[in-house]
Structure 1
Amino acid sequence: MAGMDGFGVQLQRGDGEAVEVFTAIADITNLSGPGLSRETLDVTSHGSPDGWMEFLGGLKDPGEVSADINYQPAVHDTLVADFDDTAPRNYKIVFPDTGATTWSFPAIITGFEPEAPYDDKAAASLTFKVSGKPVIS
């Protein structure tokens, strides 16, 4: 297979209840992340073979998720409320592949930037800082 069409991907928001229900965030136009990264630990010593530096894997950073939306205040007000909350909320990305692959993660909204140009649609850019290990299923 040469690739997958990204059309139909969803970013879903959990309701925080004991039996959590996820609802798609409306009108997403672009989605990226989480941008996983890992620190490295330099374990080079005077005895490192042939003078090459040596490394071990260190702590992992789950990164961020970015989303652009067609902004509608009445529809997206819950996201502004999430921005005010200091506790992570559960989100998931559902891919439009045959098996409906999901990435589930708790995150904090760290950026909410609406724009309303006079000659284009109202839009907003959202940034989510993922907290902990994303679960891929």
Structure 2
Amino acid sequence: MAGKDGFGTELRRGDGGEPAVFEPIGNVGTFSGPNGERETYDVTAHDSPSNFREFIGGLVDGGEVSVECHYDPDKHDVIYGDFKNPNPVAYEMESPAGELWAFEALLTGFEREMPVDGQMAATLTWQVSGEPTITPAPTPAP
């Protein structure tokens, strides 16, 4: 069987303590990220082989994490306060397969929707600061 079901993925926010205590961010629907990327630098020269461009790798950007959630002021307004914090906050995201992504990030977007005929919603976006760490899912016993 190919693929894994993403249902049950959980995003948690650290409280800043040592050790950090992570609280789930509730009512989350769709997750995206971290979606990092690497810069490349063109190092093509007149003597590059076969008229092909040559590149070397540059800095890596940890990317962004974005979530869509069913907005609840009691659960989400504490996160809104992170706009005032110029320092990254610790987060972790765990998939149902047991994969754990830990990262620090700055809240860069908090977009709320209050429709006339539907549920309140919010899209939250964070810029990852530094390198995320990934703990792979345990290998099932044979």
Alignment TM class, shorter chain as reference: over 0.9
Q: How does 1:65-76 map to 2 (within 5 A)?
A: 65-76=65-76
CA distance in 2, matches of 1:83, 1:30: 22
| Matched residue SS, 2:74 | helix
Deviations 1:61-90 (A, max 9, x none): 111000111111122121111122111000
Computed over aligned residues only, the root mean square deviation of the Cα atoms, in angstroms, reads: 0.8
CA distance in 2, matches of 1:39, 1:80: 31
CA distance in 2, matches of 1:75, 1:134: 25
CA distance in 1, matches of 2:111, 2:121: 8
| Matched residue SS, 1:132 | strand
Percent of residue pairs bearing the same amino acid type: 48
Q: Is 1:41–2:41 an aligned residue pair? A: yes
TM-score by length of 2: 0.92
For structure 1, the residue ranges without an aligned partner over 5 or more in a row are none
The equivalent residue for 2:95 is 95
For structure 2, the residue ranges without an aligned partner over 5 or more in a row are 136-142
Q: Is 1:12–2:45 an aligned residue pair? A: no
TM-score by length of 1: 0.95
Displacement of 1:18 in angstroms is: 0.9
Displacement of 1:35 in angstroms is: 1.1
CA distance in 1, matches of 2:75, 2:53: 53
**Runs of 4+ with deviation above 2 angstroms:** none
Q: How does 1:48-87 map to 2 (within 5 A)?
A: 48-87=48-87
